[in-house]
Amino acid sequence: MTVVTHSASPRRAAYVPSADLVKDVLAGRAIAIARMISRAEEGYPEAAAALAELYRLGGKAHVIGITGVPGAGKSTLVSALIKAYAAGGHKVGVIAVDPSSPYSGGAILGDRVRMSETAAAGGAFVRSMATRGHLGGLTRATLQAVDVLDAAGYDPVIIETVGVGQDEVEVVTAAHTVVVLSAPGLGDDIQAIKAGILEIADIHAVSKCDKPEAAATVSALRGMLALGGERPGSRRAPPVLPVSAVSGERIGELKDAIGAHWAHLNESGERAERQRAMGRTRILGTARHLFQQKFQEAPETLERQIRAVAERRMDPAVAARALLGWEETP
């Protein structure tokens, strides 16, 4: 029997420094991966260097963004894709930034409903990100979670996000291949919201293709695309594919289209271009986040500067420069 000598009372496991988690992440250990993603999510400064190292070691995975309005069937589609990729020997990583997605808080290896299927399918890693309380850091945290899965050998890594809101659109455009999922028979107002995300699609999928209304939705989408709804900068007209989570064949077609888009990016040199666009998004997003943190980390200093400016003892530019650390505080 093992005797705990250093403490008789029950206590939490010691905090593992992030630097020490890196090799376990690279070895694909689920506990280390989950911890590292949590630290990215919370924005722990201690984890910054480890996340930076994982970023530099990553870059191999094909990152797929899947977006669409709530009710379009994104989570069902993602589950079907996990199975299809697993059948081909792929370990799939999923980061869900979708409050309506059914995955549990920190769930590992699949969601509550399809857990056994997914786990049996060769070890996917599925994780939901909190979408609240990030103060503009959602994009940063989500893409760092993608980095962790990428470095851990997951390929492809899927970002699932509801296509409403600036943050959600920003994060999904940081994928190599963006699939926009539409559902037949949704109301006009929802179609209007969706109109804003149509142009970011590399591939359009229409869910529930076993329903009779699906054909009309496919035609409507093809009509819109004929009017010039392509992703800016893309030289390839996005295909429109009817899918159904119950039909394995149609999911295979979507998987093939995603693969064809990835091959196209690699062969045409567009991958490097898109990588640069992602680099820009990440640098500016991180800078915005650091900027906001700067004002939050010293509220007393900010209040003191505000009073000094209000009483004309200091001018706003000097106060702003001092708060940004670009000038000595006078």
Q: Which residues bind a second copy (CB under 8 A)?
A: 48, 51-53, 55-59, 140, 272, 275-276, 278-280, 282-287, 290-291, 295, 302, 305-307, 309-321, 323-326
The nearer residue to a second copy, 38 or 247, going by C-beta atoms, is 38
The nearer residue to a second copy, 21 or 86, going by C-beta atoms, is 21
CB of 298 to a second copy, least distance (A): 13
Residue 267 is encoded by which pair of tokens? 């062969």
168 vs 195, 224, 234, 265, 276, CA distance in Å?
A: 15, 23, 21, 23, 20
Degrees, nearest 5: CA angle 278-127-131? 70
Q: How far apart are CA 220 and CA 200, in angstroms?
A: 17
Edge-to-edge strands, sheet with 63-68: 125-128, 93-97, 157-162, 63-68, 177-182, 203-206, 240-242
CB of 90 to a second copy, least distance (A): 22
Q: How far apart are CA 142 and CA 147, in angstroms?
A: 9
Residue position matching structure tokens 């037949």: 184
Beta strands 157-162 and 93-97: pairing type?
Answer: parallel
CB of 288 to a second copy, least distance (A): 8
The nearer residue to a second copy, 222 or 321, going by C-beta atoms, is 321
The nearer residue to a second copy, 70 or 165, going by C-beta atoms, is 165
Residue 205's φ and ψ, nearest 5 degrees, are -120, 140
List, as one string, the DSSP characters of 245-314: TT-HHHHHHHHHHHHHHHHHHHHHSHHHHHHHHHHHHHHHHHHHHHHHHHHHS-HHHHHHHHHHHHTTSS
CB of 206 to a second copy, least distance (A): 33
CB of 295 to a second copy, least distance (A): 7
The nearer residue to a second copy, 76 or 305, going by C-beta atoms, is 305
CB of 46 to a second copy, least distance (A): 13
The nearer residue to a second copy, 116 or 275, going by C-beta atoms, is 275
The nearer residue to a second copy, 4 or 192, going by C-beta atoms, is 192
Residue 225: which of 236, 210, 233 has the closest Cα?
A: 236
The nearer residue to a second copy, 116 or 329, going by C-beta atoms, is 329
Question: Would you report the helix, strand and coil content of the chain in percent, each value rounded to 5?
Answer: 50, 10, 40
CB of 245 to a second copy, least distance (A): 35
CB of 198 to a second copy, least distance (A): 26
Buried b (16+ CB within 10 A) or exposed e, 219-234: eebeebbeeebebeeb
